[in-house]
Amino acid sequence: MKALVVDDERLARKELMRLLEKHPEVEVVGEASNGPECIELIESKEPDLVFLDIQMPGMSGFDMLAELDNVPEIIFVTAYDDYAIRAFEVNALDYLLKPIEEERLAGAIAKVTERFEREEAFVEEAKNDLLSASDRIFIKDGEKCWFVPLEEVRLFESEGNYVRVWFRDFKPLILRSLNQLDERLDPKQFFRTSRKHIVNLSWIDDIEPWFNGGLRCTLKDGKEIEVSRRQAARFKEIKSL
């Protein structure tokens, strides 16, 4: 898997890269000392995994993630344990404290490898099974079950390791990532507006310009969804005459 190492301290980057040499399944394709550099590398290198420091000058690791539409797997590497809860709220795969213990690093890499194997199997199965608006999907949340036509689903919303499915008056949670759903859904019907949302295009009632070159769409139920600047450009490109 391709990985980036992001830390404002050069020695910390070099030490982590030295430890990663013992894991041939991880290929370090770049290093960055701050958030903007990391964003550029993510867009150019398309890594599978980022080892990310939290406290960096100008832009914290959390601030950087908020700028991304498609977020790679994240393993936070930090000298502080104060951010652990917030790290998992943004769906980080693991949280390593400095100085990094080799055993903990090995456990984190095993965890990300297992997740990639599951997602690759899911994507491979999905390649010949793209879901359109006319298909029905099975949803189970606790003791409740639904068999729902996709055309009734107006929104998929990421919440940590789960996705909330908005249809009718229901909002159940399913154990899936938004990236996994993006692979399964017909792009002619469903659009990834940001790292948090996939919208059913037929449910959009209104679109208006928004901050920093983005868009804001209003769904037929009145819910407002922001379209990030990058995705707004893509939306205009694929949906304009």
Cis peptide before 172 (omega within 30 of 0): no
**If you average pLDDT over every residue of the chain, what do you get?**
89
pLDDT in tens, 80-121: 878 777 777 777 889 999 999 999 999 999 988 988 887 776
Neighbouring residues of 114: CB distance < 8 A, sequence distance ≥ 6: none
pLDDT in tens, 183-220: 889 988 999 999 899 999 999 999 999 988 899 999 99
Q: How confident is the model at residue 161 (pLDDT cuts 50, 70, 90)?
A: confident
DSSP 8-state code for residue 95: E
**CB-based contact 87:145 (threshold 8 Å):** no
CATH 3.65.10.10 at 2-126, yes or no: no
**CB-based contact 116:180 (threshold 8 Å):** no
Query: Count of CB atoms within 10 A of residue 92's CB?
Result: 23
**CB-based contact 201:190 (threshold 8 Å):** yes
192 SS3 class: strand
> How is the chain split into domains, by residue range?
2-126, 136-239
Its pTM surpasses 0.85? no
Residue type, 182: D
When the candidates are 3.40.1440.10, 2.40.340.10, 2.40.50.1020, 3.40.50.150, the CATH number that belongs to 136-239 is: 2.40.50.1020
Given this model, what pLDDT does residue 132 score? 83
Go through 168-192 and write b for each residue having 16 or more CB atoms within 10 A of its CB, e for each that does not: eeeebbbebbbbbbbebbeeebbbb
Distance separating alpha carbons of residues 147 and 82, to the nearest angstrom: 42
